[in-house]
Amino acid sequence: MDAATAAPLAPAAPPTPDAVDLARAAGQGPLDYLRARGYVQDVTDEAGLRAAFAAGPVTLYQGFDPSAASLHIGNLLGIMMLAATQRFGHRPIALAGGGTMLVGDPSGKTSTRALLDSEAIAANLAGIKTQFARHLDFAGGAFVADPPNPAAMLLDNADWLLELRYIPFLRDVGRHFSVNEMLTAETYRTRLQEGGGGLNFVEFNYRLVQAYDFLYLSRTEGCALQIGGSDQWGNIVAGVDLVRKADGGKAFGLVCPLLTTASGQKLGKSVGNSVWLDPALTSPYDYYQHWVNTEDADVARLLRLFTFLPEDRIAALTAASGRALREAKAVLAREATALQHGPEASAEAEAASRALFGG
């Protein structure tokens, strides 16, 4: 899978000037921008990553497992991070986990994942690959003109993981991993405790194959940064270490918080159901309604994470409280829906909402 397979969509034009435009004009780099907007929980080497960004275009990636026919709002945080760094002139790779999905990520799971077969994974990949094109520029030059921002890439790790030979992989990659160290990881430790559901050998190897993705992309694409959710910290650090041990390379990892609402509900759930990015599964109207029904305490944070609105605009919108926050919620819904489904679909959803609810 590559950029040429992406649907002929284009990222929705954000407000001009948007938050990234203003940050770049003020001399702010992508790491400072990401931290200011609330995307950063941990970085492996902050000073080194900042220097890498300053030295020229950095290639970075995040993996997305095709566990369903669509991505959901929980995945959108990573897509927004890729989109923001591309707007600073760097090169993002959206990595579909067609290979790692055959293994199954045990992170955050108390029991073994139900493994999908190759046909189901292929069907899911076909559904999700077009969803990146609303946010990332696969042609290049859409966000930064001089020099033009690099084109994003869409890859599938099945293209290299399924070609691996077992004994050479154990010898060349497995020797860099300590079983003792892996057993101290929270994911493995929890599963191995009494009542933890156990851990099978396939799952135990997940960290190796995810780390190998980083090594492979470092070698083939010059990739220097992996991003992801905080539940992936151990896997990402393993990839950083593998690049160093195997090739003497310099690599970085950055993770964002796993988001919950002010009431403790997992972000991306609406009355217990996932909010999908595919309009066939969650209509633009329902998508808009999810955002417009944001809890008061979450509005400012979500405006920073899921829109490119400038900080002063967000501050002005969220200075009020109570019913006066309705406009801020409407702006959040309008901007987030436009980014995902386009301005026309957003306007239609807003008009329908106002017709039904008067706001």
Query: Domain residues of the chain, as ranges?
Result: 3-256, 269-357
181-204: average pLDDT = 72
In CATH, which of 1.10.8.350, 1.10.240.10, 1.20.1270.30, 3.50.7.10 is domain 269-357?
A: 1.10.240.10
User: pLDDT for 102-117, tens place per residue?
Assistant: 886 555 544 455 667 7
Range with top average pLDDT, 119-128, 174-183, 266-275, 322-331: 322-331
Residue 72 backbone phi and psi in degrees, to 5: -130, 180
- With H, G, I as helix, E, B as strand and everything else as coil, classify residue 254: strand
User: pLDDT for 118-168, tens place per residue?
Assistant: 788 888 888 888 899 999 999 999 999 889 999 999 999 999 999 999 999
- Separation between Cα atoms, residue 99 and residue 93, nearest integer Å: 16
Return the closest-CA partner of residue 32 out of 14, 56, 54, 15. 54
- Separation between Cα atoms, residue 61 and residue 53, nearest integer Å: 14
Range with top average pLDDT, 34-43, 125-134, 192-201: 34-43
Contact 69, 281 (CB under 8 A): yes
β pairing state of 252-256 and 223-229:
parallel
Of 123-137, 175-189, 309-323, minimum mean pLDDT range:
175-189
Task: Give the contacts of 252 (CB within 8 A, at least 6 positions apart).
Answer: 43, 44, 45, 48, 49, 52, 224, 225, 226, 240
Q: What is the CATH code for 3-256? A: 3.40.50.620
Per-residue pLDDT band at 232 (split at 50, 70, 90): very high
Residue in the structure block whose two tokens are 């403790």: 264
Tell me the pTM: 0.90
